[in-house]
Structure 1
């Protein structure tokens, strides 16, 4: 069988190392040279004839990490790797899946076409912001989910009749996925976004009175949506926990001041240090299992559809 090789970019080497350890493989480090003007030149080791998985989330600084990903993919291709897969747990530009006004670019399509053009034959992501990802990608996309991992950590929340809360309409489907696993009911916060950093909650649909609440979203960036949802729930819920697949946390320091017991994110984005209420759940086991199956050309479908944990609440 073709040897398996994990290549680690600089965006999240700890995650790449954890994945490689679970695969009983070495994480091939990269020499990252920098020119005085900021230009980078990554150099990979021996990957000729190997099945290569480049682990490089495009987390902040998004553009720097994205360019590094492209150069790593090209370097592996030019080093005659047998097959190159881009493992991008957090995919930047996923929010730019459609144009809302004239003159905008379709950023998501540009990004995935660039990844394919740089040499990736497959793309692996975790809980992308848009379900339209594969429809605009010229290469196959394996979409994994961190929802079962997070659902296990938040359910039950101090017992009681927990309710899963979508902080906006866009997270409603995600909330239903949590509910299908945990057996809890769902509530929805309606919001109004004034700009990228200012959000107002205008209505709460569902019964959360005196019940533990779990606010779920695919990502926390500025934290404005979460803050608005927490503000809406404070006078109703008995306890509040937040769970999100990705935590770029750009400007979200104010979440430390919110009256929530826990904020769970994964390590799709590297976190140098976290303090309560933040907690980090690792997706290394999920990625390692997916890579092991892809290496052996086995199906991944049962990684996408977790079994229910219990009966659905009334």
Structure 2
């Protein structure tokens, strides 16, 4: 029996691409939306199936998360043999610890909800926190889009380019890109003032008269990218900048902010739906083949994540952390 794909409304195009890569059709699924905001998904026949539910929990995060929970419950009650949640972008992953009294650990709450709703396993791509697996009560397969994005970057970056971590949290990620592309790394130190305002403190590395590629795991409002670009230009970098990220949330005026900057190319994946209209510097790399490969392996009861000793296969492995 082939694995079967269930498409949530969070990213139907990605779910259909994964199903096509597997040579199958998505399970019939419709989601009714009531006037008061309630959701009621209805799935087709899933009795005895090995199901893979595709639903990134990006904006609107709460709606997409609740829909995924209801889909899991509907499939469990429909008699599915095994339920795997393919959550390319895992919302609430940034809330992986408390930074002040009275705060929740949102990542743990979201993971617990998925397990309670019936998920037997979780598949994510480049989660913002390396602690997600430790928080989750079921196995978590962590995939990475880094080789995919590095290949796209390598096709146009010159050997004079420098890769830039826009904050200290992105250093290990950018060092991974540096090893793949054999390029040097620079680091911007920043202080976040609010959800949209960021102050830069200093730059470590040589960027003068060099093209730069700013790399992060996600872009939300683009405040961090904007600050990094200003620092690079102040230190003499060429005004011909590339930006790359796995998760393109692009909310809160991010597009307007990016279009005001001297960005030649924005390279992202389709872990989230990306509006491409009018976005001339945008290049979208699909993660559908990556997810399809993982589904094939998991359906055959093989691990989708390679052993660190093996060094990873085809991007199906998290970057070293």
| 1:228-243 alignment, distance < 5 Å | 228-235=227-234, 236-238=236-238, 239-243=240-244
Normalized against structure 1, the TM-score is what? 0.94
Q: What secondary structure is seen at the aligned counterpart in 1 of 2:14?
A: helix
Partner of 1:296: 300
Give the count of matched residue pairs. Answer: 307
Equivalence map 1:157-306=2 (5 Å): 157-235=156-234, 236-238=236-238, 239-251=240-252, 252-253=254-255, 254-274=257-277, 275-302=279-306, 305=312
What SS is found at the alignment partner of 1:19? helix
Deviation at 1:29, TM superposition (A): 3.5
The superposition leaves residues 8-36 of structure 1 with CA deviations (integer Å, 9 ceiling, x where unpaired) of 00010000000000000111231111222
Counterpart in 2 of 1:103?
Answer: 102
CA contact (8 A) 1:148 1:306 kept: no
Could you say which residue in structure 2 is the equivalent of 1:47? 46
Q: TM-score, normalising length from structure 2?
A: 0.92
3-state SS, counterpart of residue 108 of structure 1 = helix
| Alpha-carbon distance, 1:158 to partner | 4.3
What stretches of structure 2 of length at least 5 have no aligned partner?
316-321
Offset, 1:272: 3.5
Cα deviation for residue 298 of structure 1 reads 1.8
Q: Spell out, residue by residue over 1:65-123, the C-alpha distance to the aligned partner (whole angstroms, 9 max, x if none).
A: 00000000011111110100000000000000000000001100000000011000000
Following superposition, the deviation at residue 307 of structure 1 comes to: 8.4
Alignment-derived partner of residue 89 in structure 1: 88
Asked if 2 retains the 8 angstrom alpha-carbon contact of 1:31 and 1:44, the reply is yes
> What secondary structure, in the 3-state scheme, does the structure 1 residue paired with 2:16 have?
helix
Give the SS at the match of 2:263.
coil
Q: Take 2:284 and 2:193, find their aligned partners in 1: how far apart are those partners?
A: 30
How do 1:27-66 residues align onto structure 2 when only pairs under 5 Å count?
27-66=26-65
Deviation at 1:146, TM superposition (A): 0.6
Secondary structure at 2:45's aligned position in 1? coil
- Distance in 1, matches of 2:153 and 2:207, equals 16
Q: Answer yes or no: is the 8 Å Cα contact 2:142–2:305 preserved in 1.
A: no
Match of 2:125 in 1: 126
User: Shift of residue 161 of structure 1?
Assistant: 2.0
Partner of 1:181, secondary structure, is helix
Task: Check the 8 A contact 2:159/2:183 in 1, yes or no.
Answer: no
**Matched position secondary structure for 2:71:** helix
Residues 33 and 42, structure 1, Cα contact 8 Å, conserved in 2: yes
In 2, are the aligned partners of 1:160 and 1:212 still within 8 Å (CA)? no
| Structural RMSD (CA) | 1.6
Q: CA deviation at 1:183?
A: 1.1
Deviates more, 1:119-128 or 1:206-215: 206-215
Find the aligned partners of 1:29 and 1:229 in 2 and give their Cα distance: 45
Task: Identify which range, 16-25 or 193-202, moves more after superposition.
Answer: 193-202
Does the CA contact (< 8 Å) of 1:210 and 1:237 recur in 2?
A: yes
User: Aligned partners of 2:35, 2:228: CA distance in 1, in Å?
Assistant: 45
What CA deviation, in whole Å up to 9, does each residue of 1:219-256 have, x standing for no partner? Answer: 00010001100111124223310000000111202111
